[in-house]
A and B are shown apart, each in its own frame.
Chain A
Amino acid sequence: MNHDEPQRELLVRYLDGQVTPAERQRVAELLRTDREAREFLRELAEQSVMAADLERTALAQQQELSPRASQGAENRRAVRARLRPWQWGLAAAVAMALLALAAIQLSISFREPRGSNAFPASKPWILRVSKVTGSSQFFGSGGQLESALNAGAQLRAGDTLETRSCDAWIELELRDGSRMTIAGHSTLRILGSESDATRLNLLRGTLWVSPARRPAAEGLEIQTPVVVIEARSTQFDLQTAAAETLVRVNEGSAHVRRNLDGSVVEVPPGHQVTAALGRQDPLAALPQPKPVDHWVCDLGRVPEVILGRWLPPEGTERARLGAAPLPWPLPDRDPVMLYAAAFSALSSSDHPVLLQTGSKLVFRGRTDRPQTVRFGFSTQKMQGAFAGKFEMDVRPELLGPAGQTWEVRLPLSDFRPLQPQLSFSPDGLELTDVYALTIKEDAGLEVFHVELRPHIPE
């Protein structure tokens, strides 16, 4: 079929949403059967995104030159004038591949010179950092990479945060006063703030949300690889991996929609919903299960391992997890290398794991060389928000000869709180993850067994 101008106009009208049902049918038939029509549509689509890119770049340069122009741009209709040159925005995604960035930016550069700060500081902030602990990274939508994020930093659309160590967490404040905390090994991207909702994307990890104590709390939309959660004035937490998300609502309610089929469920307080990519069963809000005080980490289940490297079985130890290196950036100093193995209690048990006075954490493992081992765990309030981390060091002489298997039984009361302002004692809190690490030196740390044993009166 010869592709003529009326057909191209029909496609333009179709894309404008101005066609009758009969014309819609014609468009569908045309695109099914006419290669030239499809080629025109593909070209139109490419031109539209490229034209928007060019406008974005031009406006960014204009903003740098004239603050008044930037103010004018903000008043424009539409998202629309969000200035996020894509090549900078993608930097947020690059994570470890930053070395590639410069070369790639050059290969697809626009001809106008780009300022190093094309990303406009005039964009309103969406989240503000209240506190940072441990190893984290910030990938700015303007191309910035920061290893040392500081309290007070303001985060805008397109920025990405990543907590990298087991003992890391970041406390954040929203504009309406709501607070959220992301735990270690989490990646959070700020998508934007539109209408009256803040939109975030939790790609992996754990996040707690505590709403502002006032009626004007804004809406919050959090996307994960599996679901979208919409909530307002709701206290909830969620954990997600690439294929599974768990949402637990403790106060208020949340609207959870599964990406796969669009099915939705309203999660009332005290309930939770689990969605997994591989499961087709109906999305259902179920009462949160009762807590247990005994937990054995099943090292054979991958979701329970947050960090570490698998080693072949040896002797009676079928599951051996070796510590993996993890750089821990320090402000104004060279980073310190940690060698850590970490396990999730949240992912491994259908029941919350309750910490009690008198309970003990039991670790069985080995080090090749004499080295102090630091043991730690993270907590959250039972049906509540992040409640802090606890750690203790065990000197090598207490572990026995290097190369031999040791078992340590560590009373929870011996662990020191890293955030005593949150929780001075782990008693009554929920266990979220457990870790063991050596600092600076790779001592060949291996962990075979992790267990929480309740206090048993004699």
Chain B
Amino acid sequence: MAFGFIGMLSEQEILQSLMKWRTRLSAAAWVVVRDAHAAEDIFQNVALKAMTREVSFETESALMSWAFITARREGIDWLRRHHRETLCLDDDTLNLLEHEWQATPSHDAGAKIEALQDCLASVPESSRRLLKLRYFDGYSCQEVAEQMGSGLNAIYKRISRLHQSLKECIEGKLSRLGEGS
């Protein structure tokens, strides 16, 4: 049961914050589990816990600290269940990544996903297929290479370049969006 203490985030504020940070929290979980669907499950579990737990949050940053830690724990637990513990980055690196995620100004999650959608519209169909096979269907790069009739090293190179170009494209669009508003 939630109580509305003065100075504490309300349920609505908690939810709004989680939505705003949703991509980053899911991405933090993805870094641990490397499975987009599992990362989404973890984000939803984190949201569920935030809404049903009895402890209140004084600030958004307190909520986010808790949420990143919880997402990491859930991710590690998922790895254990799937016997993939060895995949996990060390704690120090995860701490750094999460710290930087929290310290970097956050765009609205919806704006960034729209920017990605726009950027994807401008890349070749084969690049969109590459992303889908790798991140939605969950194929390994070797399997992606086989499906696309390409060499493994070429796939690594293409994925690397694609992410970098999408990064620059997204940043450009978000920057223009910021100027426009």
Contact = CB atoms under 8 A, between A and B. Distances in A.
A107 B108 contact: yes
A52 B40 contact: yes
Contacts of A93: 44, 47-48, 50-52
A110 B113 contact: yes
A80 interface: yes
Contacts, number: 217
A99 interface: yes
Given A8-B160, A28-B93, A47-B116, A90 B47 contact: yes
B160 A79 contact: no
B138 A77 contact: yes
Nearest to B111: A108
A78 B108 contact: no
A48 B135 CA distance: 6
A49 B31 CA distance: 10
A259 B77 contact: yes
Interface stretch (A9-17, A119-127, A173-181, A332-340): A9-17
Nearest to B37: A79
Given A38-B96, A49-B36, A97 B51 contact: yes
Interface stretch (A81-89, A206-214, A315-323, A419-427): A81-89
26 contacts: A11-B160, A16-B141, A17-B87, A31-B97, A32-B92, A35-B100, A42-B97, A45-B28, A48-B36, A52-B36, A77-B137, A79-B35, A82-B37, A90-B44, A90-B47, A92-B44, A95-B51, A95-B52, A101-B15, A108-B108, A108-B113, A110-B110, A111-B114, A201-B48, A259-B73, A262-B80
| Chain B: number of interface residues, binned into ranges | 35 or more
Interface string B1-21: 110000000111011101110
Interface string A396-421: 00000000000000000000000000
A109 interface: yes
B156 interface: yes
Interface in A370-412: none
Contacts of A216: none
B97 A49 contact: no
A42 B49 contact: no
Interface of A: 5, 8-9, 11-13, 15-18, 28, 31-32, 35, 38-56, 76-82, 84, 86-87, 89-90, 92-97, 99-101, 104, 107-111, 158, 160, 187, 189, 191, 201, 203-204, 225, 228, 242, 257, 259, 262, 307, 324
Given A50-B113, A100-B16, A38 B137 contact: no
The 6 closest A-B pairs by CB, nearest first: A108-B110, A52-B36, A45-B27, A97-B11, A93-B48, A100-B12
A290 B49 CA distance: 35
Contact of A16 (B43, B81, B97, B156): B156
Interface of A is mostly: helix
A86 B108 CA distance: 15
Interface of B: 1-2, 10-12, 14-16, 18-20, 22-24, 26-28, 30-31, 34-41, 43-45, 47-54, 73, 77, 80-81, 87, 89-90, 92-93, 96-97, 100-101, 108-110, 112-114, 116-117, 120, 131-132, 134-142, 152, 156-157, 159-161, 163-164, 166-167
A42 B53 contact: no
Given A54-B120, A93-B48, A49 B137 contact: no
Contacts of B2: 96
